[in-house]
Each structure stands twice: as structure tokens, then as C-alpha cells.
């Protein structure tokens, strides 16, 4: 038996979205500010804030837009230095540059988490804000990070694009820092094609972000579900004083997202069970290593990352080719020429490529393969067997034909 070609396809959108979309096609009411109140985007924001346990949520066009608006809402001076992990998606340093700030890259260890020694050392060098990317849902030591940042009064933005449903000491990821940002792009837990959302308890910050997201004139009033004197005062304070970047979400996207919110617990549960099952299989191979989560972390994975053990670059590339021959697409982050998660490909950052040997070494042996929550046990067995067999083929040959 081999893997079916649709193994990695997205889940269907819940049927409930269809009626809402049909009604919108009839009415043409696609813009969030046309209705006097309770537009689908506004309802999504209220539901998401309730789900996460925060006061405010602002839905926008992407997680990148949410990161950009978060930095703008913090009112950092032009050229402010923003500390980010060197293992993240290119959208993160891009959002920093877009906000007229300068990304500073911090080392990441073999377990895909921020190296705290390098983090602390760089935090002392005139850092205006920190973005923590929970890359592929891996949570860095947030206790240590928040303690270090709080002591220096440096705001923390959580890039939880790929971490919806993850918990740290039982608390929702995205609620630990000053603001948390999520993505609804198709490869994330909730799929609207495109979209993002930011959450915070900070009335002044969210008022600034709402206006800059494109709430022109008095449209900010449609973000108030009741009396909130702090939020009302913040809107009055910032009215007409901020640029409008128009990064709004469409009602159509909100209608696709809202019925998926109820699916999150199942996707998290199944995704974690699938991941842990495949991780146990891979850890049985002497050439593969899946780093464990940190103790306070409950993960919500829809993919698996593992390190190749004892393979040089040629073996790593041969391994990826062998896995592909078995029908499983495995990407070794650093072994392709244009991977958007390899920091040396972020040539748009001013200055030389930074020297980050630890992160570079990790990227040269860290593998990435998708593991959607809806896979069956037999599909998981096929994937795990293909990966282990590919490693054995490559390393077995090395042993036979080696020195
Ligand atoms: C997907 C992703 C982003 C970007 O999200 P968009 O909604 O596509 O802008 C940012 N950071 C991480 C860690 C991601 O996985």
C-alpha cells in the first residue's frame, strides 16, 4: 500500500459556512463596516476573544499584517531594534522591516527553541520589542523569556501563527505576551485561505491597531460591543492621528473561519495524538531524533519536525530523496536553495548575514513533514515507515560503502 495523492489535502470547510456565504452572495454585504453592527468579522472577533480568554481581538488580512500592526501599535521609534528568533518564517523579519524597525536575530537550539543565553545577551543591546515565533508550534521557555523582558520593560509580541491551541502551564499561547498574533492561511489549524487575528488586553494598543487596520472615520464604534470606557477613551485619543493601512478582513473570510472555531479542540487532540504516535516510531530509528516538548508545554501540531543524526549534507539530501521515493515529502530546512525559513535567505535585511552557527547547524539537519490531524492510523504507519526506511537505506549504504 502507498499513500494516496490527497493525503496532505486540507479538511473540508464545515457545511455551516455555506448558508452564511449564500446569504452574503445574495446581499452583497461583504465589507465589515457596511452593517451597523454584528457583521461576521465583528462576531468572529468577539468569539475568538472569548475562546482565548482575552478582552480584545482584531481580525486582519494575515498574521503578517497582525505582526506589522502590533509593532506600529507599540509606537516604536523608527529604526527600533526588534529581537526575533533566527528560526522562523521570512514573513516575520519582513513585518519588522515593514514597520520601519530592524530585525535582530537570536540563536535557536537543536530543539527548535530560543537559546536563552544568546537571547539574554542580545536583549541588553538596545532592543525596543521582542517577537517570539512559536515556530511550527514549538514553544520556547516563556517563563524565562517573560521574566527577562518584564525586568527590562520590553514588550513581547507572540507570533502564534502556527500555534493555535497550544498551551503553556495550561494557558493559551498568544495570551502570554502583550499581544498575540495568529494566521488563518491554509497551512494553519484554521483555514480561510488567508487571514489573521491579534489578541490583547491592552485597550490603547488595540485602539491604535484597529484604527490603523482601516477603521476610518467613526467605524471604530463597530468594535465596541458594549460600554468600555478605556477603549472608548483610547479611540477618542487616536482619532485622525494615525495612518490607515487598510489590512481588514472580509466578511466572506469570517464566514469560513467562524464554524471552524468549534473544530479546534478535535483538531488539536487528533493532531497531538498523530504527532506523538509518529514521533515514537521515528525515535526508534538510530538516525532520527524528535526533540521532546518542554514540560509546561501542551502542543497542537499539524506537522512533525525531527533531526537527522550522524548524516552529513549529502546523506541528508539523499534521505529527503529516498523519503520522496517512498511517497513522503520531507523538507530539510537548510538543504534547499530558497527555503524561506533559513535565515541566510533573508537577504532583504540590511547588513551582512549574521553569524548564527547553532541555528545554521540545526537547519542543516532539521526535517519538516506535514501531518494533518485527519490522517488515519494506517496513513501514519505508512508515513513513519517511509521515513525510517529512507534513513536506513541511506545510512545502511554509508555503512556498506564507507571507510
Ligand atoms: C504562517 C506563518 C506566518 C505568516 O502568516 P500569514 O498569515 O501567512 O501572514 C508567520 N509566522 C509563522 C511562524 C508562520 O507559521
**Average pLDDT of the segment spanning 319-343:** 95
The pLDDT score that the predictor gives to residue 206 is 98
**Any idea what the Cα angle at residue 55 is, between residues 224 and 16, rounded to 5°?**
75
pLDDT band for position 133 (50/70/90)?
A: very high
Is residue 402 over pLDDT 50?
no
What pLDDT, in 10s, does the model give residues 204-257?
999 999 999 999 999 999 998 788 999 999 999 999 999 999 999 999 999 999
Residue 87 near residue 341, CB atoms below 8 Å: yes
Question: Atom 2 of ligand 1 has which residue's CA nearest to it?
Answer: 161
Residue 216 near residue 244, CB atoms below 8 Å: yes
Question: Atom 13 of ligand 1 has which residue's CA nearest to it?
Answer: 135
All 3 cell numbers of residue 228? 468600555
All 3 cell numbers of residue 2? 502507498
pTM of the model: 0.96
The pLDDT score that the predictor gives to residue 403 is 42
The pLDDT score that the predictor gives to residue 42 is 98
What pLDDT, in 10s, does the model give residues 37-55?
999 999 999 999 999 999 9
The pLDDT score that the predictor gives to residue 336 is 87
293 lines ligand 1 (CB under 6 A): no
**Cα–Cα nearest to 201, from 235, 177, 165, 168:** 177
Rounded Cα distance, 241 and 32, in Å: 22
What pLDDT, in 10s, does the model give residues 294-321?
999 999 999 999 999 999 999 999 999 9
**Average pLDDT of the segment spanning 93-102:** 98
pLDDT band for position 268 (50/70/90)?
A: very high
All 3 cell numbers of residue 50? 472569548
Residue 78 near residue 100, CB atoms below 8 Å: yes
CA of 60 to the centre of ligand 1 (A): 13
Strand extents, DSSP E, 124-234 = 127-133, 156-159, 167-168, 171-172, 179-183, 196-200
DSSP state at residue 128: E
The pLDDT score that the predictor gives to residue 1 is 65
Q: What are phi and psi of 50, to 5 degrees?
A: -65, -45
DSSP state at residue 223: G
334 lines ligand 1 (CB under 6 A): no
All 3 cell numbers of residue 339? 527555503
Residue 246 near residue 69, CB atoms below 8 Å: no
CA of 135 to the centre of ligand 1 (A): 9
CA of 161 to the centre of ligand 1 (A): 5
Rounded Cα distance, 214 and 110, in Å: 41
- Only one residue has cell 530539510, namely 332
Is residue 181 over pLDDT 90?
yes
The pLDDT score that the predictor gives to residue 225 is 79
249 lines ligand 1 (CB under 6 A): no
Cα 401 to chain center, whole Å? 42
Q: How far is CA 57 from CA 70, 82, 223, 333, in A?
A: 12, 23, 9, 33
Is residue 400 over pLDDT 90?
no
- Only one residue has cell 527600533, namely 80
What pLDDT, in 10s, does the model give residues 157-169?
999 999 999 999 9
DSSP secondary structure of 26-72: HH---STTTSSS--HHHHHHHHHHHHHT-SEEEEES-HHHHHHHHHH
pLDDT band for position 396 (50/70/90)?
A: confident
Question: Atom 12 of ligand 1 has which residue's CA nearest to it?
Answer: 161
- Burial category of 4 from C-beta neighbours within 10 Å (exposed 0-12, middle 13-18, buried 19 and up): exposed
Residue 57 near residue 49, CB atoms below 8 Å: yes
The pLDDT score that the predictor gives to residue 397 is 66
Hey, which of 136, 185, 300 would you mutate to test ligand 1's pocket, going by the most ligand atoms within 8 Å of its Cβ?
185
Rounded Cα distance, 256 and 323, in Å: 35
pLDDT band for position 4 (50/70/90)?
A: confident
Hey, which of 159, 160, 247 would you mutate to test ligand 1's pocket, going by the most ligand atoms within 8 Å of its Cβ?
159
In sequence order, the β-bridge partners of residue 307 are 289, 366
Average confidence score pLDDT of the chain: 95
- Only one residue has cell 532539521, namely 366
136 lines ligand 1 (CB under 6 A): no
CB atoms within 10 A of CB 138: 24
Amino acid at each position: 500500500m502507498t499513500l494516496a495523492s490527497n493525503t496532505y489535502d486540507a479538511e473540508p470547510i464545515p457545511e455551516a459556512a455555506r448558508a452564511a456565504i449564500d446569504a452574503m452572495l445574495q446581499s452583497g454585504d461583504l465589507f465589515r463596516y457596511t452593517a451597523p453592527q454584528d457583521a461576521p468579522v465583528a462576531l468572529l472577533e468577539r468569539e475568538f476573544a472569548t475562546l482565548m480568554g482575552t478582552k480584545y481581538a482584531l481580525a486582519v488580512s494575515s498574521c503578517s499584517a497582525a505582526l506589522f500592526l502590533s509593532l506600529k501599535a507599540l509606537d516604536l521609534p523608527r529604526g527600533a531594534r526588534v529581537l526575533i528568533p533566527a528560526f522562523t518564517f521570512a514573513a516575520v523579519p519582513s513585518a519588522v522591516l515593514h514597520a520601519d524597525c530592524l530585525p535582530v536575530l537570536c540563536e535557536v537550539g537543536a530543539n527548535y527553541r530560543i537559546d536563552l543565553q544568546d537571547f539574554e545577551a542580545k536583549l541588553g543591546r538596545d532592543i525596543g520589542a521582542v517577537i517570539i515565533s512559536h515556530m511550527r508550534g514549538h514553544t520556547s521557555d516563556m517563563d524565562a523569556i517573560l521574566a527577562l523582558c518584564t525586568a527590562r520593560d520590553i514588550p513581547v509580541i507572540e507570533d502564534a501563527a502556527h500555534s493555535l491551541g497550544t498551551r503553556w502551564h495550561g494557558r493559551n499561547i498568544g495570551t502570554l505576551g502583550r499581544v498575540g498574533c495568529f494566521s488563518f492561511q491554509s497551512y494553519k489549524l484554521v483555514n480561510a485561505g488567508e487571514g489573521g487575528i491579534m489578541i490583547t488586553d491592552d485597550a490603547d494598543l488595540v485602539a491604535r491597531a484597529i484604527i490603523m487596520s482601516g477603521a476610518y472615520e467613526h467605524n471604530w464604534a463597530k468594535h465596541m460591543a458594549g460600554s468600555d470606557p478605556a477603549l472608548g477613551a483610547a479611540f477618542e485619543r487616536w482619532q485622525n492621528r494615525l495612518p490607515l493601512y487598510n489590512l481588514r478582513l472580509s466578511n466572506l473570510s469570517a464566514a469560513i473561519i467562524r464554524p471552524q472555531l468549534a473544530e479546534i479542540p478535535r483538531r488539536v487532540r487528533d493532531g497531538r495524538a498523530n504527532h506523538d504516535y509518529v514521533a515514537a516510531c521515528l525515535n526508534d530509528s538510530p538516525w532520527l531524533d524528535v526533540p521532546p516538548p518542554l514540560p509546561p508545554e501542551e502542543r497542537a501540531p499539524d506537522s512533525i519536525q525531527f533531526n537527522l543524526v550522524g548524516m552529513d549534507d549529502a546523506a541528508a539530501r539523499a534521505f529527503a530523496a529516498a523519503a520522496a521515493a517512498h511517497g513522503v515529502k520531507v523538507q530539510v530546512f537548510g538543504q534547499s536553495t530558497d527555503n524561506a525559513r533559513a535565515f541566510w535567505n533573508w537577504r532583504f535585511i540590511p547588513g551582512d548575514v549574521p553569524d548564527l552557527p547553532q541555528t545554521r547547524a540545526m537547519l542543516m539537519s532539521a526535517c519538516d513533514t506535514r501531518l494533518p490531524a485527519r490522517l488515519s492510523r494506517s496513513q501514519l504507519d505508512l508515513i513513519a515507515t517511509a521515513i525510517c526506511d529512507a534513513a536506513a537505506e541511506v545510512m545502511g549504504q554509508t555503512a556498506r560503502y564507507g571507510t
